[in-house]
Structure 1
């Protein structure tokens, strides 16, 4: 049954992931064009871009535990998920820097130092940026497989920092960031607890 499922997944074109990944952005653009972003459009834009990046980060983290736990392989889609995550994270940061802060670099620097959730978010983005710009075959060849794999382990601290960024940013008792951050912790535990098995290397 798992083999049949994996055979079907191998027939799914990777570009379909890219197409599906653009849907949240297209919906955001549509809502902006139709003035459907609520009372604080800037905050809505920032939050929707950030949440989409976070969900994609969790999806990328889930690929290896899913393979080791069930044998279902989504490995061929992981790079696309990761690059989409980088794209949304970059858009999230740019929306804050350009729309919210007006590229006032001094004010941005002071806010990052003063507000821990911004610092966690920026540290997470630095790691995601490093992963995004090296998620290509040229970087893999130039760095070598071992160095490339070591660099891409930054996804783990990036995920934890992103969870802390969301948790610390909320000003009310919201359950969503707690649930999603708990999911990240669970995925990291599974990543360590479930050993590699033959035919399921990841």
Structure 2
């Protein structure tokens, strides 16, 4: 069922509302940590929460295309906001790791990157995400042309390293990481069958005319 068409002003307002709502979990987690409301190891819990929200927004951003093509739900106007929210959470996740977790001790940080595969994967995801975030604007789309689409296909390996970073950081694959591994497989698997699916739909439409 298609969503009702919004005026440009209303659509812009809903995009900003998405940014505001998307940042609430991080701000709430920070407030809980600052006021001593997170039991156990608050730094690790807060760090984990930020990374999990980054993964969620990555998945939501990649779900926009199959939702539009399979269910007729057009959320393309919100894809950039979802991608940028993922970047903000990745950056916050890395900042907490860098400062509160490792206390800016760069020798231990470098050792982590070299010795711990999930840290290596996380750093690779951050590095790949930076150019996507900085080119998520109309000026870059016009400037880069077709290269913009090629650059933003980096989101596929980013999602792979992100979900592996998450799963490996937990040491044991329980229900939650298994769920995100499944979601990642479905989102990326759809991209593999998408050309054939769209071609089959095109032929079906032509045959029905």
Higher-Rg member (1/2):
2
Tell me the secondary structure at the aligned position of residue 111 of structure 1: helix
Tell me the secondary structure at the aligned position of residue 148 of structure 2: helix
Tell me the secondary structure at the aligned position of residue 7 of structure 1: coil
Distance in 2 of aligned mates of 1:180 and 1:108: 27
1:97–1:108 Cα contact (<8 Å) kept: yes
Distance in 1 of aligned mates of 2:87 and 2:190: 24
What's the TM-score once normalised by structure 1's chain length? 0.90
1:64–1:191 Cα contact (<8 Å) kept: no
Give per-residue Cα distances to partners, 1:115-153, cap 9 Å, x unaligned.
00101111111111121111112222222x211110000
Matched with 1:79 is 80
Matched with 1:131 is 132
Structure number having the greater helix percentage: 2
Matched with 1:165 is 165
Matched with 1:7 is 5
2:64–2:76 Cα contact (<8 Å) kept: yes
Matched with 2:192 is 192
Gaps of 5+ in 2: 203-209
Is 1:47 aligned to residue 48 of structure 2? yes
In the TM superposition, residue 67 of structure 1 has moved relative to its aligned partner by: 1.0
2:132–2:152 Cα contact (<8 Å) kept: yes
In the TM superposition, residue 172 of structure 1 has moved relative to its aligned partner by: 3.4
Please show how residues 141-180 of structure 1 align to structure 2 within 5 Å: 141-143=142-144, 145-180=145-180
Is 1:57 aligned to residue 58 of structure 2? yes
How many residues are aligned here? 195
Please show how residues 112-127 of structure 1 align to structure 2 within 5 Å: 112-127=113-128
> Cα–Cα, structure 1 residues 27 and 161, in superposed 2: closer, same or farther, change >3 Å?
same
What's the TM-score once normalised by structure 2's chain length? 0.87
Distance in 1 of aligned mates of 2:105 and 2:140: 33
> Cα–Cα, structure 1 residues 9 and 89, in superposed 2: closer, same or farther, change >3 Å?
farther
Give per-residue Cα distances to partners, 1:66-125, cap 9 Å, x unaligned.
111112110000001101110000000111011111112222111111000101111111
1:54–1:85 Cα contact (<8 Å) kept: yes
Distance in 2 of aligned mates of 1:106 and 1:66: 45
Distance in 2 of aligned mates of 1:9 and 1:92: 35
